[in-house]
Structure 1
Amino acid sequence: MAAATDTPLVNDIRSASRAMVRELGFMASTLAGTPYSASAVHALLEIDTHGQVTAAQLAEYLGLDKSSVSRMLAKLIANGELQEEPCADDARAKQLLLTAQGQRTVAGIHAYGQTQVRSALAQLNPSLQQSVAQGLMAYAQALQAHRLGSAAGQDSAATLATSSIQIHSGYRPGVIGRVTEMHAVFYARHWGFGAFFESKVASGLAEFSGRLGEPCNQIWTAVHNERIVGSVAIDGQDLGNNQAHLRWFILDDGCRGGGVGRQLLTQALAFCDQRGFASTELWTFQGLDAARKLYESLGFALVHEETGQQWGSAVVEQQFSRRRHGA
């Protein structure tokens, strides 16, 4: 009988995970065209990544007990893949390094894996390729955070999740649809907003995109593997009175908590200061506590709130303002 907590989503992920284990060859006694087990192959890859590690560090990276790692390392050393050297700061400890043979073995492992991935991605369209990359990374990091079971583990996962994200300024193909999608999905899930809200975001973004040629307007996007995962815009025209309007600040679920939001806002506010706006204004609503904390840390203050329905549902609307120093 299925557990009470089983859901179609959980079952789909478990089924896909089993299929990946089989298709990637983890059911076999050896992996990646080598005579070594999966744990030994991963050990070689980790040593290659870090340059040199101790046995204790390797056990932590792999999530294996020290005795299993010790036996595995003894075999790799005996086979000429690894060598040991005394640690510079502790002669009793040993550093593990790849030998020349080990470097050739790792190069073969990388070539084998790259061929596997390229062959699989060739079966998917570009959009699905990006979704796979983002989803797999987020899921792997969530599994790691669960295993570590601590705030440190969650921080580590968030750091990994955002380490390859880049911030770009200006229009990018697909920005209107993607930023609208992120808004629609997040606010429908957490606040019950519907078609009215989504259409308002889409129409506003479309109108604003036509004004990006004006030097007082700009949009920034956070991009991971060519997929937009965050955005913020500064509209320097719609408020008048030398005020900037901060709009469409949103992050994909997979990259919250890793500093990407702060990077986006920092670049947007630097633009406001460079353009000489007297103040930067933003409108949001009560309940978005994480965003409010970030706004206030960057100099915004709540200046007005009242109940309204401009987002399609009754909420306590809030206006935050940040004045330029000396203004």
Structure 2
Amino acid sequence: MIDQKIIDEIRSSSRVMVRELGFMSSTLAATDYSPSAVHSLLELENRGSLTAVQLGQLLGLEKSSVSRMLLKLIKAGEIKEEQDKNDARLKVIKLTLKGVDTVRKINNYGERRVIQAIEKLNSSEQLIIAQGLTAYAESLVDCRDNKDLIDNNIIEIVSGYRAGMIGRIAEMHGTYYYENYNFGSFFEGKVATNLAEFSNRLYKDSNNIWLAIKNNKIVGSVVIDGEDLGNNEAHLRWFILSDDCRGQGIGKKLLKEAINFCDQKQFSAVQLWTFSGLSAARKLYETFGFKLTNEWEGDQWGNTMLEQQFTRVNNGN
């Protein structure tokens, strides 16, 4: 049991630090930027580059807040967006030369504040402050990480129709591919129209959909359409995850459900169509036995892309 006096003292000291370090103000560290913007610049300096999703997770901010803040920093010339060298689906954020100079000024300001605050203390007291703050900060991070782990554990994979799924899946596709590839209303409309048509056939044994659900919200999907190709071949469609659920193994769980279904139904092959540059998705497909069988220049998604076809043959047939 923690002594209530210790709790009260830590809380009181934390409030003083928030006030004295300027977090109650609209700007921070002698800049014209908000605290979240200043922290974003510092994280970019420490890590070199980050996606918007990664930055939001680090700072504990909502996606919409991060987007607005990053747009202001881009317009101010502090940061820039580039395509990730390892995954063409993603855009990473980096400091510009102006941003590097701004971070240098922020660090200089921060160092002066620390020196002013502790220079009259002896070395033992300085060490106590440093070690105490480090331990407290790490404990706060651990609390957030544990909460995230608990949240991840309640993600469930369900099959079949769920109210609102057509709009939600179309929204996830439209948002992701607009932000990363500038796909417009044509693409989102096509997803919604085709998914609505498929949903009317969902009751048939050869068709199914799997949804990842978190806090009663759809955060991922994959479909097996066993009818539209004919020849006893299945069509894998609408495989998507929300940004905050990537890299957690959810996509692998969805694909496993879909592939198990295809094997149970003894389809001779599973086909999927995508485009070049989706490196992470391609690695996942290949894990499940898909191989690139065809590629060509096409515009079925509204933009001209190097389109690709991947095939998984059921060798058991």
Please, what TM-score do these two structures have when normalized by structure 1? 0.55
Q: Determine the C-alpha separation between the residues in 2 that align with 1:161 and 1:192.
A: 31
Aligned to 1:190: 180
The structural deviation recorded for 1:2 is 1.7
In the alignment, which of 236, 255, 260 is matched to residue 270 of structure 1?
A: 260
In the alignment, which of 296, 321, 325 is matched to residue 315 of structure 2?
A: 325
The structural deviation recorded for 1:158 is 7.5
Q: Does 1:9 align with 2:65?
A: yes
Q: Determine the C-alpha separation between the residues in 2 that align with 1:243 and 1:289.
A: 25
Q: Determine the C-alpha separation between the residues in 1 that align with 2:195 and 2:67.
A: 38
Aligned to 1:282: 272
* Matches for 1:90-169 after TM superposition, within 5 Å: 144=141, 162-169=152-159
Structure 2 unaligned blocks of 5 or more:
1-30, 41-63, 70-130
Would you say the 8 A contact 1:161–1:258 is kept in 2?
Answer: no
Aligned to 2:288: 298
Q: Determine the C-alpha separation between the residues in 2 that align with 1:254 and 1:282.
A: 24
Structure 1 unaligned blocks of 5 or more:
14-58, 70-142
Q: Determine the C-alpha separation between the residues in 2 that align with 1:309 and 1:159.
A: 40
Q: Deviations over 1:137-180 (max 9, x none)?
A: xxxxxx949x99xxxx8xx8975553210000000000000000
Q: Deviations over 1:263-282 (max 9, x none)?
A: 00000000000001000000
Aligned to 2:136: 64
Aligned to 1:22: none
In the alignment, which of 217, 228, 244 is matched to residue 218 of structure 2?
A: 228
Matched residue of 1:264: which SS?
A: helix
The structural deviation recorded for 1:216 is 0.1
Matched residue of 1:294: which SS?
A: helix
* Matches for 1:63-82 after TM superposition, within 5 Å: 63-64=135-136
| Residues 286 and 159 of structure 1, relative CA distance in 2, 3 Å threshold | farther
| Residues 314 and 159 of structure 1, relative CA distance in 2, 3 Å threshold | farther
Q: Determine the C-alpha separation between the residues in 2 that align with 1:278 and 1:185.
A: 34
Q: Does 1:307 align with 2:314?
A: no
Matched residue of 1:64: which SS?
A: helix
Q: Determine the C-alpha separation between the residues in 1 that align with 2:187 and 2:284.
A: 24
| Residues 158 and 190 of structure 1, relative CA distance in 2, 3 Å threshold | farther
* Matches for 1:35-54 after TM superposition, within 5 Å: none
The structural deviation recorded for 1:256 is 0.5
Q: Does 1:258 align with 2:248?
A: yes
Aligned to 1:116: none
Q: Give the structure, 1 or 2, with the largest relative contact order (CA under 8 Å, sep 6 or more).
A: 2
Superposition CA RMSD, Å: 3.3
| Residues 12 and 197 of structure 1, relative CA distance in 2, 3 Å threshold | closer
Matched residue of 2:230: which SS?
A: coil
Matched residue of 1:3: which SS?
A: coil
Q: Deviations over 1:241-276 (max 9, x none)?
A: 000000000000111001000000000000000001
In the alignment, which of 290, 300, 316 is matched to residue 306 of structure 2?
A: 316
| Residues 177 and 206 of structure 1, relative CA distance in 2, 3 Å threshold | same
Q: Determine the C-alpha separation between the residues in 2 that align with 1:311 and 1:175.
A: 21
Please, what TM-score do these two structures have when normalized by structure 2? 0.57
| Residues 192 and 323 of structure 1, relative CA distance in 2, 3 Å threshold | same
Would you say the 8 A contact 1:184–1:194 is kept in 2?
Answer: yes
| Residues 211 and 63 of structure 1, relative CA distance in 2, 3 Å threshold | farther
Q: Which amino acid aligns with 2:258?
A: A
The structural deviation recorded for 1:3 is 3.1
